[in-house]
Structure 1
């Protein structure tokens, strides 16, 4: 993998990404702890941000320094500074492109398309636009209650560090992602009673299999969700059904 392609992987998010903000603050303050305080995250979350960006970039972005009156600190490597320079360039180009798209859309039908998530490539087939309704801490985890456009709600359980790095707050728009294999489809609402996430809808498509049918469910608001039914469950197109999945199966992404 070339250096340029590695940097592209680390820049697969908008310029306001909290992780890039932390990296920038490290370069300015020369301290990871100061960068964490300035970004409003914990020291542990700051290190998580550095580790993630380093993995994506394929090269060290921060190096520790020792000695001096302050007892040492941190500074950006050449690659770290290159990453920030590239982020600034992409931010300018991105804003110009979004402005053009919005202007063209509103001049034709009065509605700009939802662009969040269009640049996201993932194996998770369920990608649902949501808005954060509430956050509740439970030990090292955070339970995030999400609202869909039709008024339905979901719950995602993530770590506190992840919530900090995503900048989650009430009103923030996110994508709720879930693997199709984590979603169970049932025709009996009572069987879904124990799951924190339940979406009621109608069977739109079926792919039959002796191991269990793959089911596409149309839920309120026209959203589609994909899951699997237990072997032998006699579902049919047009039938009412329920998609159920655990809160730990819901991954959150903040789009552009």
Structure 2
């Protein structure tokens, strides 16, 4: 999870990218290798070029050998004279490669600038892309806004408001609150494993689980022993629980039935996207 430093001001998000050449499945050259070729053109030596781009002499020659092999023709040729001696020059194909890369990179940069300027609300959309592309073992991934932070002696209680009006409470350490940059009004997501969720009939029940979310059963998927039961809290938010088939029968859970998903505040993992 990406962490955000609380005292650091949020910087605007821009579209970015990089250009590289490929030969089959192998990378022929990107910015670093093209910079090496350009430095060879300028200095006339491997030693000087390697120093200019911050490479070791061996790494520079390894890169040149790889480019020559992948290009199927020499891009760099070295005259006799030993290590660091003699002259090193680019072939016409090597010079053309630098020129072509420069032209493509300029067009690529213009494309990124146009794309960033044309997409309204890009920053918000990019954060959404980051959230929906997140990979985690927790089945339930709920996005919301921090409504309230209650400081305790050791831990903090974080209340996260969900889109449909309900809220989730999580208990985290002071250190986690600070390292995640949690504060009222900021966006965050809650992760809750399906095995941590208890389902109850839609009746008032007094239990120790702090979180009790009301919804309607949207899907019941039975297995050999257990069943996956999904509860729709609203049009966009669903909570899934794994319970036994016997519990499904006892509670009479079926699509459309009202139910409550309950889980402890200590079972909630909070995260942010920077």
- Shorter chain as denominator, the TM-score bin is 0.5 to 0.7
| 2:268 is the counterpart of 1:250 | yes
The residue matched to 1:169 in structure 2 has which SS?
A: coil
1:131-172 Cα shifts (integer Å, max 9, x gaps): 001111222111001101121111000111011100110001
CA contact (8 A) 1:185 1:228 kept: no
- 2:255 corresponds in structure 1 to 237
- 1:44 corresponds in structure 2 to none
1:236/1:120 Cα in 2 relative to 1: closer, same or farther (>3 Å)? same
Q: Where in structure 2 are the equivalents of 1:43-192 lying within 5 Å?
A: 100=115, 103-104=118-119, 112=125, 114-191=128-205
Alignment match of 2:213 (pick from 187, 190, 199): 199
CA contact (8 A) 2:218 2:255 kept: yes
1:188/1:228 Cα in 2 relative to 1: closer, same or farther (>3 Å)? farther
1:89-122 Cα shifts (integer Å, max 9, x gaps): xxxxxxx979947843669xxx947334234211
The residue matched to 1:220 in structure 2 has which SS?
A: coil
The residue matched to 1:117 in structure 2 has which SS?
A: helix
Where do 5+ consecutive residues of structure 1 fail to align?
1-11, 22-95
1:168/1:202 Cα in 2 relative to 1: closer, same or farther (>3 Å)? same
The residue matched to 1:146 in structure 2 has which SS?
A: strand
1:225/1:139 Cα in 2 relative to 1: closer, same or farther (>3 Å)? same
- 1:226 corresponds in structure 2 to 240
Aligned length in residues: 165
RMSD, aligned CA: 3.1
Per the TM alignment, residue 217 of structure 1 is displaced from its structure 2 partner at its CA by 0.9
Distance 1:243 1:99 in 2: 46
Q: Where in structure 2 are the equivalents of 1:205-216 lying within 5 Å?
A: 205-209=219-223, 211-216=225-230
1:164/1:241 Cα in 2 relative to 1: closer, same or farther (>3 Å)? same
1:120/1:192 Cα in 2 relative to 1: closer, same or farther (>3 Å)? farther
Further displaced range: 117-126 or 236-245: 117-126
Where do 5+ consecutive residues of structure 2 fail to align?
9-110
- 1:74 corresponds in structure 2 to none
Task: Report the TM-score when normalising by structure 1.
Answer: 0.56
- 1:18 corresponds in structure 2 to 5
1:98/1:158 Cα in 2 relative to 1: closer, same or farther (>3 Å)? farther
1:101/1:169 Cα in 2 relative to 1: closer, same or farther (>3 Å)? same
Per the TM alignment, residue 240 of structure 1 is displaced from its structure 2 partner at its CA by 0.9
